[in-house]
């Protein structure tokens, strides 16, 4: 036997074992649920599911050697057999749930995937299937608590993200080729998603834990979007403004370690220049956030009424329009001032985002741009972005919010300037 043939057979046997194991994963959950039923009264248990997974693997191998139609024929036979067993069981127990039949079909498909080069995908799907089956009670309870307006918001979020976003062209248009419809709409989706996640985080986990989770989540994606959303929320629920202030500061502070990680990958030389200042700005935001968090004794939050909007789509659309205007302005400045406008461009870019200008300057610093100039540009962008977020809070949020956020953000920028003078 040739070595290649031996290796191929070993690979096939291993994939068949995976198919059997995936069936056992799903079957274990189904068998545990029906463990108290009489022997032979179940449509399928751990043995049946394991064999169905193995069946899918064997049929997948035969289909590879003969015809893909075998997969379909075997599936039809399995469905007929499962339906007959279901009808017989239904007459005895009056249980009309077809979850067991559907999970049996899914197990067959997982076994087929395991031998056709998609073993990792099949394993992930098997685990997800078992988790879904095992959380029947929790899922049903969640549906019972879900309000109609919350479901509408979820469907709208899916519409603007999964349906509309992929349809938009990911290329530039307009003057200076400044407008990218995909990037602009992505920011709209991001802001709406933060609003949606924050709404349910607060509803499920309470004000403190919900706001903390949302703030960390937003800090890894867009602290500007969270600042906008929390500022609006402070007008609607001023009683939780201290927690919202803490959340904004946490989110804004998370921007700085994320920035260092990105720059470490692009140009480590930049990190050597920036880390003392960046960490100073982070601490200047985190410490007051921690203090506000500790001194806030709010544990509950008003439950939104049916007029509430978990998605905050209007705010997201408004931010998208503002972002488009800023993108035009930043490209105009770059065109008017040329290479001498690097720092001006950094300041303007910092109005909406720090990541984009940081990536651009980081890459340029490895080629033609002086590392010190790039570092100063990044610090300017971060400082301007912090000031802009403070302006959002003052313009949109209530007094209890901005009276806590504004002094901290001003102190953050001042500490960055002082540390810059010390370092440079």
Angle subtended at Cα 166 by Cα 160 and Cα 171, rounded to the nearest 5 degrees: 115
Q: What's the pTM value of the predicted model, to 2 decimals?
A: 0.60
What pLDDT is stored for residue 304 in this prediction? 44
What pLDDT is stored for residue 86 in this prediction? 77
Q: How confident is the model at residue 44 (pLDDT cuts 50, 70, 90)?
A: low
Instruction: Kindly list the domain boundaries of the chain, sorted by start residue.
Output: 3-141, 146-423
Give the residue with greater pLDDT, 65 vs 330: 65
Of 73-87, 317-331, 372-386, the least confident = 317-331
What pLDDT is stored for residue 108 in this prediction? 92
Rounded CA separation 97/143 (Å): 17
| Secondary structure of residue 175 in the 3-state scheme | helix
Q: How confident is the model at residue 67 (pLDDT cuts 50, 70, 90)?
A: confident
Q: How confident is the model at residue 2 (pLDDT cuts 50, 70, 90)?
A: very low
Q: For 302-338, give the DSSP string.
A: PPP-TT--TT-HHHHHHHHHHHHHHHHHHHHHHHHHG
**pLDDT tens-digit map of 110-149:** 999 988 888 888 888 888 888 888 877 776 676 677 677 7
CB–CB of 251/218 below 8 Å? yes
Side-chain-side CA neighbours of 60 within 13 Å: the count stands at 26
- Paired residues of 179 in beta bridges: 173
- Say if residue 6's pLDDT is above 50: no
| Stretch 14-18: mean pLDDT | 86
| Stretch 205-234: mean pLDDT | 77
Provide the percentage of residues in the chain whose pLDDT is more than 90.
Answer: 8
**pLDDT tens-digit map of 135-146:** 777 766 766 776
What pLDDT is stored for residue 184 in this prediction? 81
| Stretch 255-266: mean pLDDT | 79
| Stretch 188-196: mean pLDDT | 76
Rounded CA separation 158/165 (Å): 10
Of 126-140, 207-221, 300-314, 408-422, the least confident = 300-314
Q: How confident is the model at residue 43 (pLDDT cuts 50, 70, 90)?
A: low
What pLDDT is stored for residue 163 in this prediction? 86
- Which tokens hold the place of 132? 């879904």
What pLDDT is stored for residue 228 in this prediction? 83
Average pLDDT, the chain: 79
List the one residue out of 285, 284, 289, 239 whose CA is nearest residue 400: 239
Q: How confident is the model at residue 220 (pLDDT cuts 50, 70, 90)?
A: low
Provide the percentage of residues in the chain whose pLDDT is more than 70.
Answer: 79
- Paired residues of 33 in beta bridges: none
Rounded CA separation 266/356 (Å): 13
Q: How confident is the model at residue 307 (pLDDT cuts 50, 70, 90)?
A: very low
Of 33-42, 101-110, 218-227, 359-368, the least confident = 33-42
Rounded CA separation 162/158 (Å): 5
| Sign of the Cα pseudo-torsion (366, 369, 370, 376, in order) | negative
- Say if residue 298's pLDDT is above 70: no
CB–CB of 78/55 below 8 Å? yes
């Amino acid at each position: 036997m040739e070595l290649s043939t031996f290796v191929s057979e070993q690979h096939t046997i291993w994939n068949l074992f995976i198919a059997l194991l995936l069936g056992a994963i799903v079957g274990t959950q189904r068998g545990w649920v029906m463990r108290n039923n009489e022997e032979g009264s179940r449509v399928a248990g751990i043995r049946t599911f394991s064999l169905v997974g193995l069946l899918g693997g064997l049929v997948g191998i035969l289909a590879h050697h003969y015809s893909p139609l075998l997969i379909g024929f075997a599936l039809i036979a399995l469905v007929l057999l499962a339906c007959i067993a279901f009808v017989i069981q239904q007459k005895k127990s009056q249980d009309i749930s077809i979850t067991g039949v559907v999970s049996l079909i899914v197990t067959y498909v997982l076994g087929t995937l395991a031998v056709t080069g998609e073993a990792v995908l099949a394993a992930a799907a098997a685990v997800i299937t078992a988790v879904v089956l095992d959380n029947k009670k929790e899922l049903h309870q969640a549906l019972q608590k879900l309000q109609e307006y919350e479901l509408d918001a979820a469907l709208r979020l899916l519409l603007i993200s999964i349906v509309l976003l992929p349809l938009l062209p990911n290329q530039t248009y307009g003057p200076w080729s400044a407008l990218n419809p995909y990037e602009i709409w992505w920011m709209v989706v991001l802001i709406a998603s933060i609003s949606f996640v924050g709404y349910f985080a607060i509803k499920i986990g309470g004000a403190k834990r919900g706001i903390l989770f949302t703030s960390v989540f937003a800090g890894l994606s867009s602290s500007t979007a969270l600042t906008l959303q929390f500022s609006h929320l402070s007008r609607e629920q001023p009683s939780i403004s201290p927690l919202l202030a803490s959340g904004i500061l946490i989110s804004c502070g998370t921007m700085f370690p994320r920035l260092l990680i990105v720059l470490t990958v692009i140009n480590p030389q930049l990190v050597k220049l920036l880390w003392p200042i960046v960490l100073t700005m982070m601490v200047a935001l985190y410490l007051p956030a921690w203090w506000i968090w500790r001194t806030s004794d709010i544990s509950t939050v008003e439950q939104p009424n049916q007029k509430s909007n978990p998605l905050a789509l209007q705010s997201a659309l408004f931010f998208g329009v503002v972002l488009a205007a800023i993108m035009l302005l930043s490209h105009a400045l770059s065109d008017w001032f040329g290479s001498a406008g690097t720092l001006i461009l950094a300041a303007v870019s910092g109005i909406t985002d720090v990541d984009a200008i940081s990536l651009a300057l980081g890459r340029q610093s490895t080629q033609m741009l002086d590392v010190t100039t790039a570092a100063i540009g990044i610090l300017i962008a971060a400082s301007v972005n912090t000031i802009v977020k403070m302006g959002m809070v003052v313009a949109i949020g209530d007094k209890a919010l901005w009276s806590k956020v504004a002094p901290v953000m001003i102190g953050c920028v001042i500490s960055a300037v002082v540390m810059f003078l010390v370092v440079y």
